[in-house]
Amino acid sequence: MAFDSLADRLQEAFKKLRGKGKLTENDIKEAMREVRLALLEADVNFKVVKTFVKNVSEKATGAEVLESLTPGQQVVKIVNEELTALMGGSEAKLSFDSSITAFMLVGLQGAGKTTMAGKLALHLR
């Protein structure tokens, strides 16, 4: 539920970039302003948002749009790459020994902690 509103806000920010041949600094600034507000409303740390928006802006400013992509898709690609890098960039294996191991699942109400705990238990069984 929490991610649904964030996804909707991000999609709205990228809709404005459709139909343009090249991304300008003003286009990027406006889209990044919307992304910044969406992330802050989703309770993402201010310093993380600031660094994220800076990195995406640097990569997207003046970027040539690929032939098969619209500018909105190009920005979405850049945002996706940065989010992946922000979250760790690679898959990590769970590590635990034969004794009792505790895993802490943290998230907002409705984010899927209980569902994840069930899936994790089934996977580790």
DSSP lists the bridge partners of residue 109 as none
- In terms of CATH architecture, what is 2-86? Up-down Bundle (1.20)
What pLDDT tens digit does each residue of the chain (125 aa) get? 456 677 787 777 777 776 666 667 787 788 888 888 888 888 888 898 899 888 888 887 765 655 556 777 777 788 888 888 887 878 778 777 778 888 888 877 888 899 999 998 898 88
Domain ranges in the chain are: 2-86
pTM of the model: 0.65
For 112: left if phi > 0, alpha if psi spans -120 to 50, otherwise beta; the answer is left
